[in-house]
Amino acid sequence: MSGARKYMEEESRILSEAECRQILERAHAFARGGGETAVRIKSWWQGELRWARNRAALSSDRRNVAVTIMRKTEYGGAGSVTTNQVDDAALEAAVRAAERKSDQDAKPNDPSPTPMIPSYTRQPTAPIWSAVTVGVDTASRAEIARKVIAPAEMAGFYSAGYLEVREAATATYSTAYRDLLTGEYSPVETPYIRWTQAQCSTTVRDVSGMGSGWAGLSSYDWERIGSECDALAERAVQKCRASRNPVALEPGRYTVILEPQAVADLIEMLVRSLERDRPEEKSNRYGGPWRLGYDEATQLLLTKMGLKVVDERVTIEHDPLDPRLGIVMSPLERPGPVTWIENGVLTSLGHSFIKGIEELDKVNGLHTLRSGIGYRMSGGETSIEEMIRTTRRGLLVTRFSNMRALDDFSSLLTTGLTRDGLWLIENGEITKAVKNFRFTESPLFMLNNIEQIGEAVPVFRPTKKEGGELTPAIVPPIKARDFSFTSLIDAV
């Protein structure tokens, strides 16, 4: 029996802290020294159910473990190897392979040692683990799917959807980080982190294929999703019914009411740019809309920090301790909040790894180490019904799909499609369903043309990869003027 199978066949579906500790110590013992060797372990279990045309199409339970060996040399060489085998032979082979890769990548004439991470006290995180989520077994998932499918079937529609629950854990240990000033090495360890995640979404179509409705939710806690399953299913059915027999409108600039999901879909690129636009980077590798240029005289990059960049009603922040979000923190992230935009003013940008280490005591956490972030956007008090009532002519948008960046450097110009419900508003009332559009717009432009903002609510933010982490968001509906729709599309 392989090491991976042995561990994953234990009563727990993921590795315990003690099991991770044992693997970390054995992998560390194989390192030959000279440079830095880090070991990261991630184990996960995932249960899922897919359905289409009102019938289950796939049910599965999967689990895996990944041990990643990362090695850096004093001369800039780096190499990493991942294995799902945890016996001694496999671990030693992975360590040797990582050492060979890093030695081959070394640059003796360009040393770039990694700075030592200052010590800090890791504080408790917000809730990110739920026993309810872990308890959603195969039979429970089938019952939930039946509840979501039933309203569509009763209405004579087809329901398709996806339900997923997940439990995972990570642990990391580095043999040594080198201090840039003293040249000394010091071991660094990050704690065992355990979390759960869940998501459910459904699309309802009429039998002619001319109407479509969608609804979805994601959270670390299935209890939050399960309590809304009935409302979620009914919302998708209502949208399907209301979107049938759409009419064609001419492309152009329209006043739009974007439901929270559409807002989250559109501003995702903007939120990513806040983290990656590193002000200490002279090159444009991480460039974005927040730069004003590089001053050769002062050797400083000029940014829009402190300047108003969007409507003053907009604040965007990342807080790992926000109990409504359930953010899985980066292993090196401190729990302090980061406010990217406050009352429309740009107040924070990401940093490179080394810059974050050097200023760890000055900034609120190494938020730049994340591949995606959870965030909260400020809201208002205007309901979607009130937005509709005060609109002379405009469009109500459910969500966007097929998003693609046209210019992710200076303007964040984005193109995509409206999906699963688009309606014309005339004189304060929804009058007819509309055929879908392709839009070409910048989230910055939209956030500078806001007319009204509603209450911020959690939205659907699915994981992007197997065993990946949710990046939750709380976002309001927004009414904005002059939103650009460039062409009609045939998609429903």
DSSP 258-292: E-HHHHHHHHHHHHHHHHH--TT--SSTT--TTEE
Q: How far apart are CA 423 and CA 254, in angstroms?
A: 12
DSSP 26-72: HHHHH---SSEEEEEEEEEEEEEEEEETTEEEEEEEEEEEEEEEEEE
CATH numeric code, 3-205: 3.30.2290.10
Look up residue 385 and give its two tokens. Answer: 């019904």
Q: How far apart are CA 458 and CA 198, in angstroms?
A: 13
Please provide residue 58's backbone torsions phi and psi, each rounded to the nearest 5 degrees.
-160, 135
10 Å CB burial of residue 181 (0-12, 13-18, 19+) is: exposed
Task: Look up the pTM and report it.
Answer: 0.86
What is the residue extent of each domain of the chain? Answer: 3-205, 246-492
* DSSP letter, residue 434: B
Tens digit of pLDDT per residue, the chain (492 long)? 344 444 444 457 899 989 998 898 888 888 886 677 888 899 999 999 999 999 999 999 999 999 999 887 766 677 889 999 999 999 999 999 988 888 887 666 655 555 545 544 555 667 889 999 999 999 999 999 999 999 999 999 999 999 999 999 988 776 655 444 455 555 556 678 889 999 999 999 999 888 999 999 999 999 989 888 999 999 999 999 999 999 999 999 999 999 999 999 999 989 888 876 555 555 555 457 888 877 777 767 788 889 999 999 999 998 888 888 888 776 556 566 788 999 999 998 876 555 555 554 444 444 444 445 789 999 999 999 999 999 999 999 999 999 998 986 778 999 999 999 999 999 999 999 999 999 999 999 999 999 999 999 999 988 766 667 778 999 999 999 999 999 999 877
Q: How far apart are CA 226 and CA 219, in angstroms?
A: 10
- Taken in order 114, 120, 125, 131, the sign of the CA dihedral is positive
